[in-house]
Amino acid sequence: MTAPASKLTAQRPTGAKVGKYTLKSVLGQGGHGDVHLGVTGRGPNVAVKILNAEASRDTDTVTRFKREADTARRLEHPGIVRIVDVGSSRGRHYIIMELVRGGSLRRLLDRKDAPPGKVLAVLAEVATALAFAHAQGVVHRDVKPENVLLTRAGRAKVADFGLARAIDQSSLTTEGRILGTAIYMSPEQVRGRRATAASDVYAMGIVLYEALTGARPFNADSQLGYLYQHAEVEPPRPVVRKGYPTALAALALACLAKDPADRPTMAEVAERIAAASHARARRRWWWLVPALLAVVCALVIALPSWLDPLCGDWFGAPACRWARQGARAAHAAIFSEPPRPHARPRDHR
């Protein structure tokens, strides 16, 4: 692919063409570049992530950027943002990817009125997508709500595999430099050890904890403060908010175990969140049963009094007789006492 150098090398390349796509509004901004809306006269619009000039000169950043495209490209899953194409022009690197327009998990968690059922469904989808990545030998290494996008239908798609790596590859973490987001970083990453699938589980535990309680397990005024707490401080037991399954509190704490070997797998996390969500939904429907029975009883009680005016105006005599008989039978079936068993005659012999 090629793009006009005068446009794509600019700090804000709006209006440039990348292949068949014209760059329009900025969808998001980051320290290493922007994400633009890419439009075309035919076919779906896309998101185009472009490294800025400074980041394009940093070898490690470019390596992670290219690896994001390569990694996500081979992870074909409905819960992972799809990569359309990747390329560069005049030293500026870009990724063309599926456009997801429903906001992010961060925005959903920040809503005071976010439906618990919807939040749990999204978390189960995120865990399922990450479990798929782990099964393919890929660790994300930067799991956080900002990296989970939502479609307009509310389905989750994991994005930003820039720090992801194959489990059998060496880490890009260098001495004195820790990659990832401090708020969601696992104890082993803090200590400079190799990130594994269990590291993603730890980050997922923080996301789950925040969903259940409305707050993260750790708070600090600096990145170093977060890193210390992840490594040395046990999280407080979650006080689960109304509407969320209390059974998931134990799962959140299990994910936050300091020892990676003590954490569940991501597949187990997905299964337990989905199971708790389904159990919650069943309980909600069960509580509707008494209300529905009350409505039915009220209708049966009132039905005979409704039939007289209706019969006179709308229905003929045979239909009215049938309706009255049915109403009396229903009324008797619900409100009459059950027949007593006949007493057996005494044997006077």
DSSP 54: H
**DSSP characters over 75-143:** ---TTBPPEEEEEEETTEEEEEEE---S-BHHHHHH-TT--HHHHHHHHHHHHHHHHHHHHTTEE-S--
| Closest of 120, 121, 124 to residue 132, by C-alpha | 124
> Crossing angle, helix 116-135 and helix 266-313, to 10 degrees?
140
- Per-residue tokens: 262: 């003590």
Is residue 21 left, alpha or beta, with left meaning phi > 0 and alpha meaning psi from -120 to 50?
beta
CB atoms within 10 A of CB 259: 9
Instruction: Give residue 221's identity as a one-letter amino acid code.
Output: D
Q: How far apart are CA 96 and CA 46, in angstroms?
A: 7
The whole-angstrom separation of Cα 317 and Cα 137 is: 75
Catalytic residue among 142, 168, 221, 313: 142
Residues 6+ apart with CB under 8 A from 271: none
Distance CA 12, CA 288 (A): 55
Which runs of consecutive H residues, i.e. helices, occur in the chain?
5-8, 53-56, 59-73, 105-110, 116-135, 187-190, 197-213, 223-232, 248-255, 266-313, 317-335
Q: Is 262 an active-site residue?
A: no
Q: Fill in the amino acid letter for 292.
A: L
Catalytic residues: 142
